[in-house]
């Protein structure tokens, strides 16, 4: 896989037109487009169809978190939409994770399609240790909580997790080399962290062993998003030791 194929760009924009403009510009330089809460709430399934019509891959980052029956139903609907990756919150617990995994498998089989990748969000990359302990009320180190949820996710039969690049090595030790680790909280050196707490550069995230890097504002808010994506991809190729 080329480094650029590991870039998932977060289309956190207010509507379909802004999303489509970014898809047109970024398609040659990234591997997948992430439709999150903002764009999906504004445009719904049309956002997924638009990306597919341009030949792009779609990560539906809707972070499903509800009782097992409700999450399973939403997961089935996302499979029918044809997304390539979707996610749930690991905090939903074992029964919810198992229900989501079964729903994705069964719906894809019924449609005769390969199942999309199903991953679980661990500790949000916007949280640091203090917030996890004092605001959320989890009395563990961030890394320990991430690994705990990663193990649960793997046992429930999902493909991987969302975590910050800082936890990659601990997750790899616990869950092995084939478990997917999708990392937001990625910032080129010197870039504004914004609301992210646990960050790393794209090159370092790749060296740590990230499967995919989710990158939003460093690309989409750049004066020239295509140039920003190309530059990040080239730096990542360097980290992989590939010639571009």
Ligand X SMILES: O=c1ccn([C@@H]2O[C@H](COP(=O)(O)O)[C@@H](O)[C@H]2O)c(=O)[nH]1
Binding-site residues for substrate, in ranges, read 12, 34, 61-70, 125, 187, 196, 216-217
Query: CB 182 → ligand X: shortest distance, Å?
Result: 9
Query: CB 98 → ligand X: shortest distance, Å?
Result: 22
Q: Output the known binding site.
A: 12, 34, 61-70, 125, 187, 196, 216-217
Clarify whether 63 is annotated catalytic: yes
Active-site residue, from 52, 57, 66, 144: 66
Active-site residue, from 5, 52, 57, 63: 63
CB-wise, 162 or 232, nearer to ligand X?
A: 162
Query: CB 199 → ligand X: shortest distance, Å?
Result: 9
CA distances from 113 to 31, 65, 116 (A): 20, 25, 9
CB-wise, 86 or 107, nearer to ligand X?
A: 86
Cα 89 to Cα 66: distance, rounded to the nearest angstrom: 9
Active-site residue, from 4, 61, 84, 159: 61
Interface with ligand X by CB under 6 A: which residues?
10, 12, 36, 121, 124-125, 162, 184-185, 194, 196, 214-217
Query: CB 213 → ligand X: shortest distance, Å?
Result: 9
CB-wise, 145 or 196, nearer to ligand X?
A: 196
Clarify whether 61 is annotated catalytic: yes
Clarify whether 4 is annotated catalytic: no
Q: In the numeric block, which tokens belong to residue 219?
A: 């690309």
Cα 76 to Cα 206: distance, rounded to the nearest angstrom: 32
CB-wise, 10 or 175, nearer to ligand X?
A: 10
Residue nearest to ligand X as judged by C-beta position: 216
Active site residues: 61, 63, 66
């Amino acid at each position: 896989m080329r480094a650029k194929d590991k870039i998932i760009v977060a289309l956190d924009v207010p509507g379909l037109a802004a999303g489509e403009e970014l898809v047109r510009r970024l398609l040659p330089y990234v591997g997948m487009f992430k439709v999150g809460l903002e764009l999906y709430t504004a445009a719904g399934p049309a956002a997924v169809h638009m990306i597919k019509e341009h030949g792009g891959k779609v990560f539906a980052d809707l972070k499903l978190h509800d009782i097992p029956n409700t999450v399973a139903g939403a997961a089935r609907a996302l499979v029918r939409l044809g997304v390539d990756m979707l996610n749930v919150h690991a905090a939903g617990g074992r029964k919810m994770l198992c229900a989501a995994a079964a729903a994705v498998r069964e719906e894809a089989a019924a449609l005769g399609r390969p199942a999309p990748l199903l991953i679980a969000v661990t500790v949000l990359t916007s949280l640091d240790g203090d917030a996890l302990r004092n605001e959320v009320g989890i009395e563990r180190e961030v890394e320990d909580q991430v690994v705990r949820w990663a193990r649960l996710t793997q046992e429930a039969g999902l493909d991987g997790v969302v975590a910050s690049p800082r936890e990659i090595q601990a997750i790899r030790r616990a869950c092995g080399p084939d478990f997917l680790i999708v990392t937001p909280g990625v910032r080129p050196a010197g870039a504004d962290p914004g609301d992210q707490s646990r960050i790393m550069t794209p090159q370092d995230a790749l060296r740590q062993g990230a499967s995919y890097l989710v990158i939003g504002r460093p690309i989409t808010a750049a004066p020239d998003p295509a140039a920003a994506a190309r530059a990040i991809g080239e730096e990542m190729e360097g980290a992989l030791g590939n010639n571009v």
